[in-house]
Amino acid sequence: MSELVDRGYAYPGALVSTDWVSRHLDDPNVRLIESNESPLVYPSGHIPGAVEVDWIRDLNDPINRDYLDRGGFSALMQRLGVTEKTTLVFYGDKSNWWACYAFWVFQLFGHTNSRVMDGGRLKWEFEGRELTIQEPRIAASNYQSAERNDERIRIFRQQVMDHLLAGGRLVDVRSPAEYHGELLHMSDYPNEGAVRGGHIPTANNIPWAEAVHPHDGTFRPAAELRRLYLQEHDLKADDDLVVYCRIGERSSHTWFVLRYLLGFGKVRNYDGSWVEWGNLVGVPIER
């Protein structure tokens, strides 16, 4: 198996295989980061040497609905023992939903030496590879982060409205039932606050799960992804794209696919997503 996962992707270095991870478990220049939906998953068993980044506790401001600032991110990286030269490898449950979400947040602070383990926990467990409940002992680093940059890959609600009025392309990665307003949330999940259902006008509905193989969570080859996004939905690699979902986690997965696997030049994640848009007064909604 090759060192990196290359199925015709624009940036094959953005993905590593479970085999690559297995060979680098003792590499001091590699830090494995597990990020899951539930905080109960990591302590039940994780890849040896992996540290946990919890999407609520570690990535979000405890008061404001926003991400941590430069000081908070520096402190997080110091606690994880990360240096500016450390290669980060993200993985997790839900076919890497939260791994891609954490990857995306880390890119806001410019740590570009980052990769995703193809298939996440599902593939690692499917292959019968080792898990442990022992948390690694890691010496703190002196990492100093750059300021968070929201301009390049993140977009806010007024910018989304401006983008919509200018005829920009949007991709709604939720399920068809959510997109059509039949559900205010994912099936079997609680309603997280949206009072109206539907989608942002003109948005294409391309559910995130169409980009992965359901049996092991690995990403589909580039040829299949191009057929899905470029041919079936007429997206173009030079489009100015905005992706969104419910709270930004599934859309960060699609952001990763479009940006790194297909090489789209400008893709921004609307992390406010439907929990915000479905509560705003006076914004347009389609069903």
Cα distance between residue 46 and residue 18, in whole Å:
13
Active site residue 245: yes
Beta bridge partners of 15: 116
> Taking the mean position of all CA atoms in its chain, how far away is CA 178?
19
| Long-range contacts of 138-143, Cβ-Cβ distance < 8 Å, separation of 24 or more | 138/51, 138/80, 138/81, 139/81, 140/78, 140/79, 140/81, 141/77, 141/78, 141/80, 141/81, 141/82, 141/83, 142/78, 143/74, 143/77, 143/78, 143/82, 143/83, 143/84
Q: What stretches in the chain show pLDDT beneath 50? A: 1-2
pLDDT score recorded for residue 3: 55
**Average pLDDT over all residues of the chain:** 95
- pLDDT value, residue 5: 78
124, 93 Cβ separation under 8 angstroms: no
Radius of gyration from C-alpha coordinates of the chain: 18
Kindly list the structural domains of the chain, giving each domain's residue range(s) and its CATH number in brackets, ordered by start: 12-126 (3.40.250.10), 157-277 (3.40.250.10)
The dihedral of CA 210, 213, 218, 221: what is its sign? negative
Q: How much is the pLDDT for 1?
A: 36
Going by C-alpha positions, the residue among 3, 20, 21, 25 that lies closest to residue 12 is 3
- How confident is the model at residue 4, as a pLDDT? 62
Of the residues 245, 247, 262, 275, only one is catalytic, namely 245
pTM of the entire predicted model:
0.96
Cross-strand pairs, 242 = 170, 268
Closest CA to 33 of 99, 104, 132, 84: 99
| Residue corresponding to tokens 């993140």 | 154
Best CA proximity match to 256, nearest among 61, 23, 9, 3: 9
> Left, alpha or beta for 120 (phi > 0: left; psi -120 to 50: alpha)?
left
Yes or no: say if 284 and 165 are a contact pair by the CB < 8 Å rule: no
The reported pLDDT for the residue numbered 2 is 43
